[in-house]
Amino acid sequence: MLILVTNDDGIRAPGINALATRLEALGRVVVVAPDRERSAAGHSLTLHSPLRAELLVTDRYAVDGTPTDCVNLGIHGLLPRRPDLVVSGINHGSNLGDDMTYSGTVAAAFEATLMGVPSLAVSLQITPGIDVDFSRAADVAALLAGEVLAHTLPADTFLNINVPPGDPLGLRLTRQGKRLYSDVVVEKLDPRGRKYYWLGGGDPGFENTEGTDFNAVAEGFVSVTPLHLDLTNYRSFERLHSWGLEKMFTGYRRQGAGDE
């Protein structure tokens, strides 16, 4: 098996090293990761400047780009063939609920799935004041990676995995939860009296609803959320059809609006 490993914390992050080492039991592991921290990069690509990849040691590349760049470059340029699996992580901190939309860790798995390669995103919940140990999360990642390699994920689907600190009590299949944001922009003054802002400066909460990723991790369980590339909200069709938008636009065109 050939496994591509990436992350958004940077190639020297302890989480990616623990992950790559553990996955070597499943096959050849090639790490293609950002040369620095690119947290919250989301699903961004570098389109207006060239990318550079530095071979640090055998099968370890540092790229001056985003996690999505790393997946593209790894699959289409650096790996000897198409990988059997892409694993992104282990992220230093969870990627739960709405937070996953900002996550470079999740975006890397999303990108691999767009290219038809099975993928996982793996994150570890961090508890302030407690030493971070990635070994349990690495074990979970290897276990689930083996299952994905042995079976077939549903079409256009990847797994977002969040591991609680300490020894997990078990594993739950979950749905995406809901984050509660408050005071996410903090305004301050610099020594010259000019305003500056910190994004994400508040202490966000979450809806502790049974069946969600937040609830599972809060109760000490590994959360496995299957995510789908199709973002269409099919349940909204009936309501939006009731607005009469299609007829409205037809009438708009008949009046000649927008015609040259």
- Give the residue extent of every domain in the chain: 2-178+208-233
Exposed, middle or buried: residue 9 (CB in 10 Å: 0-12, 13-18, 19+)? buried
Calpha distance 65→88 (Å, rounded): 15
The pLDDT confidence band at residue 122, using thresholds 50, 70 and 90, is very high
DSSP 7-70: -SS-TT-HHHHHHHHHHTTTSEEEEEEESS--TT--S----SS---EEEEETTEEEESS-HHHH
In sequence order, which residues have a C-beta less than 8 Å from that of residue 123 and are 6 or more positions away? 89, 90, 91, 93, 94, 95, 96, 103, 105, 137, 160, 161, 162, 163
The pLDDT confidence band at residue 40, using thresholds 50, 70 and 90, is confident
The pLDDT confidence band at residue 179, using thresholds 50, 70 and 90, is confident
Residue pair 176/217 in contact by the 8 Å Cβ criterion = no
How many residues are given for the chain?
260
Work out whether strand 157-163 and strand 222-228 pair parallel, antiparallel, or are unpaired: antiparallel
Tell me the two tokens of residue 60.
């370890």
In sequence order, which residues have a C-beta less than 8 Å from that of residue 239 and are 6 or more positions away? none
Nearest Cα residue to 20 out of 36, 35, 4, 41: 4
For the chain, give the mean pLDDT: 91
CATH-assigned architecture of domain 2-178+208-233: 3-Layer(aba) Sandwich (3.40)
In sequence order, which residues have a C-beta less than 8 Å from that of residue 50 and are 6 or more positions away? none
The highest-confidence range among 136-150, 183-197, 230-244, by mean pLDDT, is 136-150
State pLDDT tens for residues 62-108: 999 999 999 999 999 999 999 999 999 999 999 999 889 999 999 99
Better pLDDT: 152 or 18: 18
* pLDDT above 90 coverage of the chain, percent: 73
Find the range with the poorest average confidence among 25-29, 30-34, 49-53, 241-245: 241-245
In sequence order, which residues have a C-beta less than 8 Å from that of residue 162 and are 6 or more positions away? 94, 95, 96, 123, 124, 125, 213, 216, 217, 222, 223, 225
Work out whether strand 85-92 and strand 2-6 pair parallel, antiparallel, or are unpaired: parallel
Stated pTM of the model: 0.88
**pLDDT score recorded for residue 258:** 55
Tell me the two tokens of residue 205.
């909460």
